[in-house]
Structure 1
Amino acid sequence: MKGLLQGMSFFITAAVLMTGCMGSREAVGTKALQDTAKTGRGEIFSSRAGVPYKAVIAHRGASYYAPESTEQAYILARQMGAEYLEIDLQRTRDGVLIASHCNDLSQKSNILDVFPGRAKNRMSDFTLAELKSLDAGSWFNDRFPGRARSSFVNAKISTLEEVINIAEGKLANGQPDPNDNGNRPGLYIETKVATFFPGIEKDLYELLKKRGWLATSVKKAPAGFDPAKNVGVQFTTGRTILQTFEPESLPLLNKYMPETPKCFLLWLYTKQEAMDWGSEKVDQFAPDANLAKTYGPLRKDEPLNQAEGETYAQFSAKWEILSEENYRMWLKWAKDNGALAVGPGTRLAGYNDPEKGDQSYMDLIDPWFNETAHDMGMLVHAYTLDETVDMARANASGVDGMFTNRPDVLLRFYGKTLHAGLEEIFTAYGW
């Protein structure tokens, strides 16, 4: 991997020099699609890093079809043919690394019934045994009755080791999976609200080292494995990608795992939000505010507040970056701290629809954004796209991969192999 990065230095240096010669946003935007198609830089960068081009990243598993971050969601994604299983990493009170997006479990478990006096406590206040006592599946049935299944009742939160077991073709408990179809996806791990879990970057390093999942300990594919027939990302140097929104966490991930690819996730902060960093209000957001203090806010201050009756998706759709120069500064900071990729949010076509717009944010995938990242030698993995209309726009703009809750849809969109259909998997596992 070290040689790989050295080999990329020419492209990166040349790209940085080119960046200073860029014209207006309009000039870049009109040429971006043509330039990307001609140069194929994203494909080159992906290949050199061992990362699939047009990567299919299963966001918390196949979480459109099953409760997020559970065994069911991750097995669905693996069997379908997702190239990465995406994990939001947190840590229990007794030091176990777990996969969970929510630090507040009241919306996606029965914690109000089991621990009513602690329902709003942070994840780090609970032991693994306490978290495993929760029903992390029934909420899905209640919220999405059209996708409900009785087998989701009492689904469990997954540990990182359990997700690794699934990626390796086993059941979550580490036992052989009789239905395993041979796919071996990689891991895409986010240090979630890492400031709440001091030292989690080192803990992650130790576990990945123990399980042989670092870029420096790539396993050979077993005899007879055919990458043309099965997903084999875990047999490449891109087997694990580390991601974070937090500027405090990225340098630490790079310190402990310099050879392992990393992605810096982008969020737009106003100057006021940066100044308010540390307050209860700002703690609820992806904490890029400290970086904003150093490099300036990434977005304009207006509009600062949601209008009455306006959804968050409608509010964030109005956000604009402060300047192209400022955007490049943020990307340069990420690159200097080990990021191989950048993860931009997207404004979805259905952002006005409450049913489809809940994952719609500010729009950071116009062609010039992606060209700027490619100029700096970085990949672009956009989040989170479930509809083909949004996938088509992101793909046309030049992104190199996408996070999705529907890996089967993205596989079909990219023309990649769908190894097993939804009902086929549900039937095989008795779900």
Structure 2
Amino acid sequence: MYVRPAAAAAAAFLGFTLTLLGGTASYAATGPGSGATTGTGTGTVRAALGGPVVYAHRGASAYAPENTLDAIDLAMQMGFPWVENDVQRTKDGVLVVIHDDTLARTTDVEQRFPGRAPWKVKDFTWAEISRLDAGSWFGDEYAGASVPSLRQYLDRVQRNQQRLLLEIKKPELYPGIEEQTLKVLDEAGWLDERHVTKRLVVQSFSADSVRIVHGLRPDLVTAFLGTPTVADLPRYAEFTDRINPWHTTISADWVAAVHALLGAHGKAMEVDTWIVDDAATARKVQAMGVDGIITNAPDVVQEAVGGF
């Protein structure tokens, strides 16, 4: 289990301190258009505070069912202000927070709707999905946890005073999901200056999706999930601020090549790597110079690298 009082207390203190300072050491903290240039953004603050930013992947998902309100509440209780989630769309057009494009792995949909294989998210209404149990698969203590709508999720993150790394999942399945996601963010109060500059990053594995988001809201911090070649990096820098790769695909030289470029807002580009759940790998990517680590076990990573 995650019981690591010293690590959690240190993370909570740093999170509280950074809130008082008006942000985090992430790229979002300084905000688009602040005039920062290479060497004046994340790296300086990260070095001063002792480690990369730690993002709780799908919430504290090593210890609670992923992408549920329980998982983000637990991340908050553990002292981690940044949470990551995945957004998809129901048959009747409601945005929901779930990773897979099928409901089978993380809910009881097969028992409730046995004749509707392959149980795709896009084939079920919000009313149907909201009745599913999204917690029992993880543990009896989470029985009855539900798949949250994006609006419910945003409201809880706001209540917890957390920050959000939002992934638009499989946009090819959901035409127009970029515009709709921005609409829900706006309705929930997440597109004001404070949220946009300090508390929100939007990412996707789809370069087209990231490009669309940047075009619709040029003030938003965006990230591309993947590992472009060094030769291709300048093309991504035109519409994104971060490149977020799988940790097995990177080297110190590649990270340095990303940092050498100015992103869409004229600042040094950043690297947040995933999914790192063990101390040895966390220290390895820290030595490569990454700006952030996305993890299911944020306490393990924080303890290993002194992150925040």
One fold, TM greater than 0.5?
Answer: yes
Tell me which residue corresponds to 2:258. Answer: 373
Mapping of 1:17-416 within 5 angstroms? Answer: 42-44=42-44, 54-141=52-139, 150-169=140-159, 184-214=161-191, 216-218=192-194, 237-266=197-226, 327-337=229-239, 339-347=240-248, 363-364=249-250, 366-376=251-261, 377-415=268-306
Rounded to whole Å, the distance in 1 between the matches of 2:232 and 2:46 is 21
SS of alignment partner, residue 290 of structure 2? coil
* Number of positions where the alignment pairs a residue of Structure 1 with one of Structure 2: 270
Deviation at 1:241, TM superposition (A): 0.2
Rounded to whole Å, the distance in 1 between the matches of 2:104 and 2:253 is 40
Q: Which one has a bigger Cα radius of gyration?
A: 1
Deviation at 1:159, TM superposition (A): 1.5
Deviation string, structure 1 residues 250-296 (Cα, Å, up to 9, x no partner): 111111221111110105xxxxxxxxxxxxxxxxxxxxxxxxxxxxx
Deviation at 1:95, TM superposition (A): 1.6
Tell me which residue corresponds to 1:3. Answer: 33
Deviation string, structure 1 residues 83-106 (Cα, Å, up to 9, x no partner): 311111101122211111011122
Asked if 2 retains the 8 angstrom alpha-carbon contact of 1:109 and 1:135, the reply is yes
Rounded to whole Å, the distance in 1 between the matches of 2:210 and 2:40 is 27
Rounded to whole Å, the distance in 1 between the matches of 2:173 and 2:255 is 31
Rounded to whole Å, the distance in 2 between the matches of 1:70 and 1:190 is 15
Rounded to whole Å, the distance in 1 between the matches of 2:107 and 2:32 is 43
Percent identical residues: 32
SS of alignment partner, residue 137 of structure 2? helix
Rounded to whole Å, the distance in 1 between the matches of 2:215 and 2:113 is 38
Asked if 2 retains the 8 angstrom alpha-carbon contact of 1:186 and 1:239, the reply is yes
Tell me which residue corresponds to 2:3. Answer: none
Structure 2 residues not aligned, in runs of 5+: 1-30, 262-267
Rounded to whole Å, the distance in 1 between the matches of 2:173 and 2:155 is 26
Deviation at 1:2, TM superposition (A): 4.7
Deviation at 1:134, TM superposition (A): 1.4
Deviation at 1:122, TM superposition (A): 2.3
Q: 1:119 to 1:110 in 2, by over 3 A?
A: farther
Asked if 2 retains the 8 angstrom alpha-carbon contact of 1:104 and 1:119, the reply is no
Rounded to whole Å, the distance in 2 between the matches of 1:213 and 1:400 is 24
SS of alignment partner, residue 138 of structure 2? helix
SS of alignment partner, residue 137 of structure 1? coil
Q: Write the letter of the residue equivalent to 2:217.
A: M
Rounded to whole Å, the distance in 2 between the matches of 1:259 and 1:197 is 24
Deviation at 1:121, TM superposition (A): 3.7
Rounded to whole Å, the distance in 1 between the matches of 2:232 and 2:142 is 41
Deviation string, structure 1 residues 38-59 (Cα, Å, up to 9, x no partner): x676425989xxxx97211111
Q: Write the letter of the residue equivalent to 1:135.
A: D
Rounded to whole Å, the distance in 2 between the matches of 1:45 and 1:203 is 34
Rounded to whole Å, the distance in 2 between the matches of 1:406 and 1:246 is 26
Structure 1 residues not aligned, in runs of 5+: 12-38, 142-149, 170-182, 219-233, 268-297, 299-326, 348-362, 418-431
SS of alignment partner, residue 213 of structure 2? helix
Q: 1:75 to 1:372 in 2, by over 3 A?
A: same
